[in-house]
């Protein structure tokens, strides 16, 4: 359903995104988060790794595994920290359970920064005091990132839709982009009728191996023993 990989995958291959492409991805993520927030869900792990692209260039927000479902229900103990540090709001770094939708607003701002620069930073809370930090970000987008990643949650956008509006205004202030950028999606072979019996030589699932703490050497040995 998301056969063109994640926004992180695209960045690893091509680097920083052109502003219009970055804005398009974030616009779609804001739409998804608005639906989640309206249902009382705080995602808590918004980052480019979880922005998946389908064959038509549509962006899907995935991995709600650590989402906070209600005011009283969570999968995480009070005082614990879970998420990805560079995309995590300051209040989430100290207590995951108490965060609200403004933590997701912070993560959207941090994700926009990464899409535009192909870098991450845990220092975005002081972006307005560090000229170098946002030097690679187009000027109209800087105010969006600064407001979204304020240290105090009350000083951020009240909702992802407010951020989305300012992002579109910022994009309108940029000159039209030149052509020649790598496409967001690439042609894909038709899906197979069923699962393959064997994987192509050298095929690896690094994220899965890491999450399961698998030793690649042992995995290879096990595969050889079964073949």
b/e map 26-49, b = 16+ CB within 10 Å: bbbbbebbeebbeeebbbbbbbbb
Please identify which of the residues 9, 45, 55, 104 carries the catalytic annotation. 45
DSSP letter at 99 equals: -
Task: Report CA 201 to chain centroid distance, whole Å.
Answer: 30
Q: Which long-range contacts (CB under 8 A, 24 or more apart) does 63-68 make?
A: 64/36, 66/96, 67/36, 67/41, 67/42, 67/43, 68/41, 68/42, 68/44, 68/96, 68/97, 68/99
* Catalytic residue flag (residue 45): yes
Give residues with Cβ within 8 angstroms of 57, minimum separation 6.
Answer: 4, 184, 185
> Cα separation of 57 and 53, whole Å?
6
Question: Residues 66, 75: contact at Cβ < 8 Å?
Answer: yes
**Active-site annotation, residues:** 45
């Amino acid at each position: 359903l998301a056969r063109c990989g994640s926004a992180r995958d695209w960045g690893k291959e091509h680097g920083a995104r052109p502003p219009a492409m970055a804005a398009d991805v974030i616009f779609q993520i804001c739409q998804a988060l608005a639906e989640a927030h309206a249902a009382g869900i705080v995602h808590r792990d918004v980052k480019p790794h979880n922005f998946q692209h389908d064959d038509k260039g549509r962006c899907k927000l995935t991995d709600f595994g650590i989402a906070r479902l209600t005011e009283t229900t969570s999968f995480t103990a009070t005082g614990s920290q879970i998420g990805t540090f560079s995309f995590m709001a300051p209040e989430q770094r100290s207590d995951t359970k108490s965060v609200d939708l403004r933590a997701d607003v912070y993560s959207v701002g941090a994700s926009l920064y990464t899409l535009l620069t192909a870098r991450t930073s845990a220092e975005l809370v002081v972006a307005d005091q560090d000229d170098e930090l946002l030097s690679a970000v187009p000027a109209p987008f800087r105010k969006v990132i600064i407001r979204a990643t304020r240290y105090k949650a009350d000083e951020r956008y009240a909702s992802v839709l407010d951020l989305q509006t300012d992002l579109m205004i910022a994009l309108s202030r940029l000159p039209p982009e030149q052509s020649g950028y790598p496409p967001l999606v690439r042609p894909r072979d038709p899906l197979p009728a069923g699962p393959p019996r064997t994987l192509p030589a050298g095929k690896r699932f690094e994220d899965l191996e890491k999450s399961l703490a698998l030793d690649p050497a042992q995995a290879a040995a096990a595969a050889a023993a079964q073949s």
